[in-house]
A = this chain, B = another copy of it.
Amino acid sequence: MASLLRTTARMRLFSAHSIVRPTSRLPMPAFAAASSRHMASAAAAAAVPDAGEQPFFDDEPRGPIIKTEIPGPKSQEAIKRLTKVFDTRSLNMMADYTSSFGNYLADLDGNLLLDVYAQIASIPVGYNNPSLLLAASSPQMASSIINRPALGNFPSHDWADILETGILSVAPRGLNQVFTGQSGSDANELAYKAAFMWKRRQERGGADVDFTPEEMSSAMNNQAPGAPSLSILSFKSAFHGRLFGSLSTTRSKPIHKLDIPAFDWPQAPFPALKYPLEAHAEENAKEEQRCLDETERLITTFHHPPAAVVIEPIQSEGGDNHATPAFFRGLRALTRKHGILLIVDEVQTGVGATGRFWAHEHWGLDDAPDMVTFSKKAQTAGYYFGNPELRPNKPYRQFNTWMGDPARAILFRAIIKEVERLDLVRNTANTGEYLYAELERLAQQYPAEVKNLRGKGQGTFIAWDSPRRDEVLKKAKSVGINIGGSGERAVRLRPMLVFQRHHADILLDGLEKVFKS
């Protein structure tokens, strides 16, 4: 803890872009210094607005440190102990968070990895971020931890303030209400429930029309009309969570769904585009139209009619599948045309990662989505909405004991302030532009290693297909980098918002080492 406090005391309070110093004076990470990267990147640098940069954290390590195989002996011992009480078969690395800092993840054996996976895309502004530590050490945080309210019944007197100065201050354009939850799955299911209640209200003829006795009694028996035969339409390869309703809209991998009962809900094809997008504009447009046509057919003919369509701006767990803004605008038009709702699942794309605060800002919609769900980097969860009709007509219809967690809402507020203070959305856009250009070069140099590079103009939300993906991810650890995969063969980059050019250089050098091996 001593080191954290020291860091806090030395916390920098200038904007990331207020000081520009020559690239040559950047603190060169030990690992990257000997490589050829900086010569290779000189040409690309001119295209990037912020060629010179100031590190966000004085105390951040200068590069990865690899002392042992991963897991090393101490980690192995700790894993052995944990295995007795916890399923460790999905364990990737036993972490030591007290020794992690900024973009670097530590383990018990003294290894320190540049982390471009970031707890499955959910660490926003670096490990042990000093500003977040201040918020987490505040009396307000302590009170919210130990006096957790049932928010729907007994909200705390500062709840309006916490919402207004935090979560709501980043609400997507056109959406001014929030319903708080606890995880991405939970956020989506709450949004689905809101959609079903809204749809039935339309069918019933408005908020004032009361439930019929038949609806009341059939609902208690899980039968229509009280428990209606409605559905949520999702897309092939989508991931929206793993609770029973959200899992019914998830179509990522069999292992996520096997043996779990599911609702008979429709799935539309997601466009299978060719990359780079700009080189295949015409055939991609055709493919997107085909998918929109099939979506419309399902909306109008599926035997359990959809109340809403749910979609990710970039299918993340499903393999980093992109579509163009035209596709999403088409989807918005379709949902309007057929009187159903559009739910945009920004659980993984939200909070800056694509170079906009919300990824759907890239689409140029005239007409906001009906709901936008969030979690992960927000460190809390829930959904935004704008239409007052998405508040059910009676209380206790959208309700649960906790209805979110003020502690996490306070943390999200601190995250938002940090994103603003360091201009991190712009940083992510700029770093992403640089990184993408360098990856294009690597793709040309190692065409067998980097296929279907994607995420241009999408901040650092970048991925490519790799014929030996799992081996690449494993080898990356040995050169000091923690990377994740998505889908069957994609390498996905999900760095934090404090990921800068000098981190990108370390990543690129590491990847080149792996590709050469």
Contact A119 B150 (CB under 8 A): yes
- Whole-angstrom distance between the alpha carbons of A257 and B81 in the complex? 43
Complex Cα distance, B209 from A323, in Å, reads 39
* Choice from B176, B215, B229, B395 contacting A87 with Cβ under 8 Å: B395
Which of chain B's residues have a CB closer than 8 A to the CB of A394?
89, 255
Encode contact with B along A354-398: 1 for CB under 8 Å, 0 otherwise: 000000000000000000000110010000000000010011111
The reply to whether B93 and A154 form a contact with Cβ atoms under 8 Å apart is yes
Q: Does A163 contact B (CB under 8 A)?
A: yes
Residue of A78, A192, A231 with most partner-chain B CB within 10 A? A78
Asked if residues A182 and B184 are in contact (CB atoms below 8 Å), the reply is no
* A96 contacts across to B, CB distance below 8 A: 156-157
Q: List residues of chain B with CB within 8 A of the CB of A400.
A: 183, 185, 241-242
Q: Which residues of B contact A145 (CB under 8 A)?
A: 132, 136, 141, 407, 411
| Interface status of A90 (Cβ within 8 A of chain B) | yes
Q: List 23 A-B contacts (CB under 8 A).
A: A86-B159, A86-B163, A89-B395, A90-B395, A93-B154, A95-B149, A95-B156, A96-B156, A97-B143, A107-B157, A119-B153, A123-B148, A128-B147, A185-B400, A196-B260, A197-B259, A216-B258, A219-B258, A220-B254, A222-B265, A227-B260, A228-B261, A242-B400
Partner of A127, one of B147, B152, B220: B147
Distance in Å: Cβ of A290 to nearest Cβ of chain B: 20
A19 in contact (CB, < 8 A)? no
Determine whether the beta carbon of A244 is less than 8 Å from that of B244.
yes
Per the CB 8 Å criterion, the residue count for chain A at the interface is 128
Residue-wise, chain A 320-363 has the 8 Å CB interface mask toward B (1 for contact) of 00000000000000000000000000000000000000000000
- Within 8 Å CB of A223, what residues of B? 262, 264
Which of B196, B217, B242 has a CB less than 8 Å from the CB of A259? Answer: B196
A100's partner among B132, B147, B179, B391 (CB-CB below 8 A) is B147
Minimal Cβ-Cβ distance residue in B for A132: B146
Q: Are B262 and A85 in contact (CB under 8 A)?
A: no
